[in-house]
Chains A and B, each alone.
Chain A
Amino acid sequence: MAVPLQLREYKIQLTMNYEGKHGNKGFSPSPDTFVHDVFVHTSGSDRDVSDESMPTGSIPLNVVHGIKIPIMNITGYFPYSFPDDFFDKFMPTLAPYRSSIGNTVKNIFLVGTILEVVSNGNGLFYELPVNTRWYVKNYTWVRNVSHPDRGEFQLQLMQWFKEISI
């Protein structure tokens, strides 16, 4: 079963600063009107808050200042046929946003940006409540013989809280 989902992407403006220990403190989020229309397979969701996220050698990103943060893995696809609709109709909408870094499938979801859930199939995909924000940790695009005309994406998301600023 696939559930329609809309995700609004928030761009993180990059101000590089190579001084100091942490070289990129200049990140700041700015709202962007771009919205992804995607379908998410409910059977492909995986809310991971287990001890797997516990540190084994380094502090994981989802443990911050004493807070443990949920990790969500979702699998979905775009409502565009590949490659013509996908590249002719869908990708150009990304162009103004992605022009500086390339307009490719690789960059549909930008790792390091924030997705906000705009709609979640009227609650069918309740693991992603509306208005919650998620940090994109990992994005994988797969197209093969099983779905040659649309491709699939897998996202690993980390919930983003208002207390956690960037």
Chain B
Amino acid sequence: MKYTMFTLMISEKNVDGSIRFSTMHDLSPMNISSCKIETVDASDKVEFGHEPEIIPMGIGSCTAEIVGTFVKVDGTSASNIFKMSKIAPEIKNYYETIKIFDKINGTDTEFALKLSAANGGGTRELEGGIWKIKSIKMPRSIKDLGRYQFTIKLSYFWIDKSEQMLCVPGTGTNVTTDCKFTMNYTGVNNDQDPTTGTCGIFNVKISKSLLTLNNAMFDCETKMYKDTIIKIYGGNNSGLVVFYGIVTEVETDPADKIYRVIAKEICDLLYRGVIGNPITNMVVGFLPELRVIVPCRQNKDDLTIDQMVNKIGKTYYKPRAGFESWNPFPAICKAGTLGGEPTLPGRDEIKISDQVLSGISVGTALTNFIYRHCGFNMWYNYDTGKLEYGFLRDGITIDLTKEIIVKNDLIDDNQEDVKPDYVVVWDPPCEICSIAGGYGPDKHGLQYVLEDARDAAAAQALAEKILELCTVVNKSTYSVEFPAGTTRFKEGDYFRGLGDQSLPLNEKMEYRSGDDADPLDVPSDSVWHIKEVTITDKSTKVVVGMSFYSVIDIYKSSLNRRRDGIPAPTKEQVYITTPVVVGKGAGGTGEVDHLE
């Protein structure tokens, strides 16, 4: 083994206060049996910005640990405690010669090692640097035959600061796992006492969705009654309304005097009655003469989507006594100018149709028209209570000091059962049949029926869009969990930057950023769109999918996948026969009529 020789150094202060090390003397040679050097980055530092950005903050520390024994210059091991007079002077007097720390002339002094010019070729890992001594252990045991084996921990002395790449510490924050909520309540013609007030709530679960009415479940110590109107606040922004609703169920446990409350979104009031004639109040509208119909034309002009929505709402919604404070109308279109158009979004050739409202609530009528007919999403503003509709709600730029992905799972890749090579679109009579992609008996294909196909060109374009949707577009949905207190996310919102590359290879959540300028246009600028939000005391979970509004979303029920093939045209054949006269052969002409 090649021996190692260090030079002992002592710290001195420069005029500017910085430290330098000057040589004292060489130590006795050593046999080093183990050397370990660890360099660690200055981790846990993140640069914030609109675009994702990591700033390497440089090296946090570089430490070394050496294990060995002292030897005499001739290489004889200092292995016997009884040969003290022959061992290295550092063993006899190491308190005097190898110091870690001292106070000299009232100044703190450190000691360091560097490989000596007389080094015998050992421990070359430490070449080129000065290593401050952090600790020395010199245990002696029977196991080591009484040898003094030392373990020295060293820390690299940074002469050139650019080598270390100093960073600015102090960024970062804790992730919260608990969130407090409060509630404002107002009793309306019920036994709520006092009529208005504020109280704390706990065991909170608030569920929001683009597909169903939002609801909240929670416990409180204040007695709640049905039909009390509530607003829930909490999270990182205490002034933010998280839920605006109305109490629908209350359970009481006499043992613990806790009230378990279920509340629905305030728009539940729209779903509680059946539309009737606004003049006669006749609600039995099933008879044709009493049927409630909102025509799509008025004074020879086509109604726009916005006009139709507000006509349904303003004409047929009559608030119950006491509930006048909530008025969701006029509704607000959040899809640019599309609300001012008389045609369906994405389908310029199709105008909105008459709306038959008989036997349903105003809420259902609005859902039928806005969601099912026009293809928009709809929601109610938590603060004002106004009805809003569109494709996307508000954009969210994540605040990394609070809103960090805690957990993420792929829910569904939403892929068809086969990845098609081609797509066929045809109309029910099969007069139009368009194919996109390369087809053949050895290819996979999907077929769709378009109920109101106008021409082959439109069907062809549709087939190409479906093929792209099935082969190119990532339609996956993910569940993303954020820390408790992340309460500002709303159903319909979208993230201006989100992704998770830490998932397994086949489940990676791609990073999507920016704004989706037109969800009806190309999917390439699709962003992560919030479909559902679940907020509890412990965490917030959102379900996100693509913001791109595909042809499947636009055409909804008029475009359906068929699995049973194209029906062949029907032919009927009628055979007319005449009686056979024995001895005269076949009777009559034997002619056949073909009726098609």
Contact = CB atoms under 8 A, between A and B. Distances in A.
Interface of A: 12, 14, 16, 21-25, 27, 49, 51, 53-70, 83, 87, 101-106, 109, 111-112, 135-145, 151, 159, 161, 163-166
Interface in B1-43: 2, 33-41, 43
Contact of A69 (B2, B126, B398, B502): B502
Contact of A137 (B43, B67, B166, B404): B43
B410 interface: no
Interface residues on B, range: 35 or more
A65 B399 CA distance: 8
A150 B54 CA distance: 34
A25 B40 CA distance: 20
Contacts of A23: 166-168
A54 B502 CA distance: 12
B558 interface: no
Contacts of A27: 55-56
18 contacts: A23-B166, A24-B58, A24-B165, A27-B55, A66-B495, A67-B405, A67-B501, A67-B511, A68-B405, A70-B501, A103-B127, A105-B37, A111-B41, A112-B59, A137-B40, A138-B40, A141-B125, A163-B499
Contact of A106 (B39, B41, B172, B501): B39
B53 A64 contact: yes
Given A103-B128, A111-B39, A68 B501 contact: yes
B258 interface: no
A144 B129 CA distance: 21
Contacts of B54: 61, 64, 135, 164, 166
B35 A144 contact: yes
A7 B56 CA distance: 19
Contacts of A63: 46, 400, 404-405
B165 A112 contact: yes
Which label, helix, strand, loop or mixed, suits the secondary structure of the B interface? loop
B52 interface: yes
A62 B45 CA distance: 9
Interface of B: 2, 33-41, 43-49, 51-59, 62, 67, 121, 124-129, 156, 160, 162-163, 165-168, 171-175, 398, 400-401, 403-408, 495, 497-503, 511, 513
Contact of A143 (B34, B56, B398, B401): B34
B176 to A, nearest CB: 11
Contacts of B498: 66-67
A108 to B, nearest CB: 10
Nearest to A48: B502
Contacts of B501: 67-70, 159, 161
Contacts of A103: 127-128
Interface centre among A68, A102, A139 (most CB of B within 10 A): A68
A56 B404 CA distance: 12
Nearest to B495: A66
Contacts of B51: 65, 165
